[in-house]
Amino acid sequence: MKASLSAEQQDQIATWYAQGVPVSAMAQRLGCSERTVARWRRRLGIASPITPPHRWTGDELASAEALIADGASLHEIARTLNIPYGSVQPRFRYRGWTPQQAGAWSAELRRLRRAGADL
């Protein structure tokens, strides 16, 4: 079934988008799916812009290298430096923990917590 929105509803989407209303809230107010709202935003030319890739500074690169040397995972580097994981992963691919290592560490932490270790 193809959802159709009136011109008034389309204008409302544009207004809400400018106000920063989340897609989920727009969909709830209009009584349609989030996908319908996203589709109409795209048709109206107000879809979310693609964010440009992160430009690394010298300090960020040095900090990331130090974190990797300390054994940090790529997710931890992204959180610590407040940089999107999608920018960290391609730059330091194969340098942080492998998924297997991260899983083994998580399993070890769970085991220690169950044993009553103070972490």
The distance from CA 49 to its chain's CA centroid, rounded to whole angstroms, is 14
Q: What are phi and psi of 50, to 5 degrees?
A: -75, 130
pTM score > 0.85 for this model? no
Confidence label for 29 from pLDDT (cuts 50, 70 and 90): very high
Q: Which two tokens stand for residue 113?
A: 């917590």
CA distance 29 to 52: 31
User: Residue 4: which of 34, 45, 26, 37 has the closest Cα?
Assistant: 37
Confidence label for 1 from pLDDT (cuts 50, 70 and 90): very low
Tens-digit pLDDT profile for residues 48-65: 766 677 899 999 999 999
Domain ranges in the chain?
A: 7-43, 58-114
